[in-house]
Amino acid sequence: MGGAVSAGEDNDELIDNLKEAQYIRTELVEQAFRAVDRADYYLEEFKENAYKDLAWKHGNIHLSAPCIYSEVMEALDLQPGLSFLNLGSGTGYLSSMVGLILGPFGVNHGVELHSDVIEYAKQKLDFFIRTSDSFDKFDFCEPSFVIGNCLEISPDCSQYDRVYCGAGVQKEHEEYMKSLLKVGGILVMPLEEKLTKITRTGPSAWETKKILAVSFAPLIQPCHSETGKSRLVQLRSLKIPPG
């Protein structure tokens, strides 16, 4: 998925191309994209591809195409102080960009299935915090990552203002995804091969907008233990969004 815009020589040129093609449309999103160098989230031997508008996968590590992340960031309509849940948080690239917008009073949680990817994301986050000059311009809401299947989040988990799922959601899981959202919140996810924005306008009222056709690997179904019980993902140990 991708290839919608020309490759850049560096991160800024990639962002210029995304702006010109109208994938990046707001100043906040542009600033976040410029502040987080996409190449820093690649393995060294693949960095020459970082500024192409293409997805990248290596083992369990995956990055969506820049045009997809642009549409996601714009659709989330992020503002300082919001709570954000990233389902399938991967390398942490998106979570770091989101954190620059959420600021010091936001909440920034990620759930990731693969332990090696969690370690990779933590290394990349540490590198970003140590080397970035973005903190002169931004107050950062540092992401927290937990391991688990995003379909097994504990039912006593708080709801979030913004939720993104980075894997294809089957129709039977749509209601579960929507249950993670506060009233007034926005959920962005690939649903039936369409990147979809769902706004919770009331306790049982929703607005749905299909953004563009996408191809995502589907959500991995939970594996139940020998006892038949699933292992619930606990987010309560992290900084919790207010009720």
The model's pLDDT over 5-14, given as tens digits with 9 standing for 90+, comes to: 778 899 999 9
Averaged pLDDT for residues 87-109: 96
- Please give the share of the chain, as a percent, with pLDDT higher than 90: 76
Per the model's pLDDT, the better-predicted residue between 235 and 27 turns out to be 27
What lies within 8 Å, CB to CB, of 37 at 6+ separation is 11
How many CB atoms are located within 10 Å of the residue 71 CB?
A: 23
- Quote the mean pLDDT of the chain: 90
Q: Which amino acid is at 27?
A: E
Which two structure tokens, joined as six digits, stand for 14? 């990639």
Alpha helices in the chain, H assignment, sequence order: 11-20, 27-35, 66-76, 93-102, 115-131, 174-179
Averaged pLDDT for residues 114-125: 96
What gap in Å lies between CA 212 and CA 24, rounded to an integer?
Answer: 14
pTM summary value: 0.91
pLDDT at 109: 96
Q: At residue 225, does pLDDT exceed 60?
A: no
Q: At residue 2, does pLDDT exceed 60?
A: no
Which two structure tokens, joined as six digits, stand for 153? 């989040």
Beta-sheet pairing, 205-213 with 160-165: unpaired
pLDDT at 227: 46
Confidence of residue 210 (pLDDT cuts 50, 70, 90): very high
Based on the residue annotation, tell me whether 64 is a catalytic residue of this protein.
yes
pLDDT at 235: 78
Q: Among residues 64, 83, 89, 132, which one is catalytic?
A: 64
Which two structure tokens, joined as six digits, stand for 131? 């080397």
Averaged pLDDT for residues 220-227: 65
Residue 198: enclosing H or E segment and its boundaries? strand 194-202
Q: At residue 222, does pLDDT exceed 90?
A: no
Averaged pLDDT for residues 130-158: 88
Segment 37-68, tens digit of pLDDT: 999 999 999 999 999 999 999 999 999 999 99
CA 163: distance to chain centroid? Answer: 8
DSSP letters, 102-157, are: H-TT-EEEEEES-HHHHHHHHHHHHHHHHH-SGGGT------EEEES-GGGB-TTP
Q: At residue 1, does pLDDT exceed 70?
A: no
Segment among 45-54, 93-102, 128-137 with least mean pLDDT:
128-137
Q: By the 8 A CB rule, do 90 and 167 touch?
A: no
pLDDT at 7: 83
pLDDT at 217: 80
What gap in Å lies between CA 134 and CA 31, rounded to an integer?
Answer: 10
What gap in Å lies between CA 56 and CA 42, rounded to an integer?
Answer: 8
